[in-house]
Structure 1
Amino acid sequence: MRRLLLIVLLSVSSVFANNDVDEKTADTLAKLWEVIVDTRSELAEIRKPAAVALSEEETASNEKREAELAARLAGLKKQFDELASGIREEDLQTADEAKLDLKEEFQDVLRPLVKELKKATERPRETEELREREQRLVDQAELAEEALARLSRWGELNGGAGKEIEKLQDLWKARQKDAQGQLAALAVQMEQQNSERGPLLEPVSDAFGKFFKGRGLSLIKAVAALIFTWVALRWLWRMTCRLPLIRRQDHGAFGWRLVELTMVVATVCLAALAALLVLYFSGDWLLLTVFVVFLVGLGWTAKSTVPRTFEQTKMLLNLGPVRKGERLTFEGVPWEVGTIGIYTELRNTELTGGLIRMSIKRLSTLRSRPHDPAEAWFPSKTGDWVLSGGNLGKVVMQTPEYVQLVRLGGARETFATPDFLSMAPVNLSKSFRVKVIFGIDYAHQGIATGEVVEFFKAQLKLRVVDLLEERDHLNTINVEFHAAAASSLDYAILADFKGSAASRYNKIERGIQRICVDICNEKGWVIPFTQVTIHQAGDQ
Structure 2
Amino acid sequence: MKYQNKLLKYSASVLLGWCCLWLIATTALAQSNGESQQPQAAVAPSTIETLSSFVELRKALQKDIRTLNQQLQSTRSEAEKASLKQRLEKLESDLRTTTRNFENIAAGVDITTLRGEVTEEFNLQQEVFALVRPAIDEMKEMTARVRKKSELKKKIDYFEEQLPVITQALANIDTLKQAASNKSLMQTLQETEEQWSKQQAFIQSELQAAQLQLDKLNAAETSFAEASQSYLKSFFQKRGLYLTIALLVVASVILLSRLSAKVMQRYIPGFRAKHRSFKIRLVELLHLMLTVLFSILGPMTVFYLVEDWVLFSLGILLLFGIAWALRQTLPRYWSQIQLFLNVGSVREGERIFMEGLPWRVEQINVYSTLVNPVAGISQRVPIDELVDLKSRPSQTDDPWFPCGQGDWVILSNGIRGKVTGISHEMVQLVERGGARVTYQMADFLAASPRNLATNFRVKEVIGLSYALQREITAVIPEALQNYLTQRIHQEGYGDQLLNLRVEFAAANTSSLDIAIIADFKGEAGDLYNRLRRAIQRWCVDACSENGWEIPFPQLTLHGSLSASE
Q: Is TM (by shorter chain) over 0.5?
A: yes
Distance of 1:248 and 1:398 partners within structure 2: 31
Indicate yes or no: 2:330 matched with 1:306: yes
Structure 2 vs 1, CA of residues 326 and 167 (structure 1 numbering), >3 Å: closer, same or farther? same
Deviation at 1:124, TM superposition (A): 4.8
Structure 2 vs 1, CA of residues 263 and 126 (structure 1 numbering), >3 Å: closer, same or farther? same
Q: Counterpart of 1:500? A: 523
> Which of 368, 388, 405 in structure 1 is aligned with 2:411?
388
Indicate yes or no: 2:172 matched with 1:150: yes
Q: Percent identity of the aligned residues?
A: 36
Q: Counterpart of 1:260? A: 284
In the TM superposition, 1:310-349 aligns within 5 A as 310-348=334-372
Indicate yes or no: 2:158 matched with 1:115: no
Distance of 1:296 and 1:124 partners within structure 2: 28
Structure 2 vs 1, CA of residues 494 and 251 (structure 1 numbering), >3 Å: closer, same or farther? closer
* Counterpart AA for 1:510: R
SS at match of 2:352: strand
Structure 2 vs 1, CA of residues 127 and 503 (structure 1 numbering), >3 Å: closer, same or farther? closer
Q: Counterpart of 1:356? A: 379
Distance of 1:258 and 1:347 partners within structure 2: 25
- The TM-score, its normalising length taken from structure 1, stands at 0.71
Q: Counterpart of 1:458? A: 482
Indicate yes or no: 2:443 matched with 1:422: no
* Counterpart AA for 2:352: L
Worse overlay, 292-301 or 361-370: 292-301
Q: Counterpart of 1:479? A: 502
1:315–1:321 CA contact under 8 A, matched in 2 = yes
> Which of 524, 534, 540 in structure 1 is aligned with 2:547?
524
Per-residue Cα deviation, 1:329-356 (whole angstroms, up to 9, x for no partner):
223222222322333232335547x333
Unaligned runs of 5+ in 1: 1-47, 50-65, 79-93, 535-540
Q: Larger Rg: 1 or 2? A: 1
Indicate yes or no: 2:258 matched with 1:234: yes
1:106–1:114 CA contact under 8 A, matched in 2 = no
Per-residue Cα deviation, 1:151-204 (whole angstroms, up to 9, x for no partner):
211113223332221011111222333444556666776777677666664344
The alignment covers a number of residue pairs equal to 448
Deviation at 1:136, TM superposition (A): 4.9
* Counterpart AA for 2:545: E
Q: Counterpart of 1:91? A: none
Deviation at 1:509, TM superposition (A): 0.9
Q: Counterpart of 2:318? A: 294
SS at match of 2:197: helix
Per-residue Cα deviation, 1:113-167 (whole angstroms, up to 9, x for no partner):
3321233344455555555555555555554433322221111322333222101
Distance of 2:518 and 2:212 partners within structure 1: 112
Structure 2 vs 1, CA of residues 391 and 465 (structure 1 numbering), >3 Å: closer, same or farther? farther
1:333–1:418 CA contact under 8 A, matched in 2 = no
Structure 2 vs 1, CA of residues 247 and 195 (structure 1 numbering), >3 Å: closer, same or farther? closer
SS at match of 2:363: coil
Distance of 1:166 and 1:367 partners within structure 2: 94
Structure 2 vs 1, CA of residues 125 and 305 (structure 1 numbering), >3 Å: closer, same or farther? closer
> Which of 268, 276, 285 in structure 1 is aligned with 2:309?
285
Structure 2 vs 1, CA of residues 451 and 288 (structure 1 numbering), >3 Å: closer, same or farther? same
Worse overlay, 246-255 or 182-191: 182-191
Distance of 1:195 and 1:306 partners within structure 2: 53
Q: Counterpart of 2:391? A: 368
In the TM superposition, 1:143-292 aligns within 5 A as 143-156=165-178, 157=180, 158-181=182-205, 201-243=225-267, 245-247=269-271, 251-292=275-316
Distance of 2:519 and 2:123 partners within structure 1: 89
Q: How much is the aligned-residue C-alpha RMSD, in angstroms?
A: 4.1
2:271–2:280 CA contact under 8 A, matched in 1 = no
Structure 2 vs 1, CA of residues 454 and 132 (structure 1 numbering), >3 Å: closer, same or farther? closer
Worse overlay, 139-148 or 436-445: 139-148
1:351–1:400 CA contact under 8 A, matched in 2 = no
Per-residue Cα deviation, 1:56-106 (whole angstroms, up to 9, x for no partner):
xxxxxxxxxx99x999x99xxx9xxxxxxxxxxxxxxx8999xxx9x8477
* Counterpart AA for 1:309: Y
Structure 2 vs 1, CA of residues 124 and 466 (structure 1 numbering), >3 Å: closer, same or farther? same
In the TM superposition, 1:429-444 aligns within 5 A as 429-444=453-468
Per-residue Cα deviation, 1:370-409 (whole angstroms, up to 9, x for no partner):
3346656432233322111144222232222122223344
1:478–1:493 CA contact under 8 A, matched in 2 = yes
Worse overlay, 416-425 or 470-479: 470-479
Worse overlay, 295-304 or 164-173: 295-304
Distance of 1:183 and 1:248 partners within structure 2: 78
Q: Counterpart of 1:57? A: none
SS at match of 1:311: helix
2:481–2:502 CA contact under 8 A, matched in 1 = yes
1:406–1:412 CA contact under 8 A, matched in 2 = yes
1:397–1:405 CA contact under 8 A, matched in 2 = yes
SS at match of 1:229: helix
Deviation at 1:281, TM superposition (A): 0.8
1:234–1:267 CA contact under 8 A, matched in 2 = no
Deviation at 1:510, TM superposition (A): 1.9
SS at match of 1:477: strand
SS at match of 2:461: strand
SS at match of 2:519: strand
1:430–1:499 CA contact under 8 A, matched in 2 = yes
1:222–1:274 CA contact under 8 A, matched in 2 = yes
Structure 2 vs 1, CA of residues 131 and 467 (structure 1 numbering), >3 Å: closer, same or farther? same
Q: Counterpart of 1:44? A: none
Structure 2 vs 1, CA of residues 195 and 427 (structure 1 numbering), >3 Å: closer, same or farther? closer
Distance of 1:365 and 1:509 partners within structure 2: 49
Q: Counterpart of 1:15? A: none
- The TM-score, its normalising length taken from structure 2, stands at 0.68
Higher relative contact order (CA 8 A, sep 6+): 2
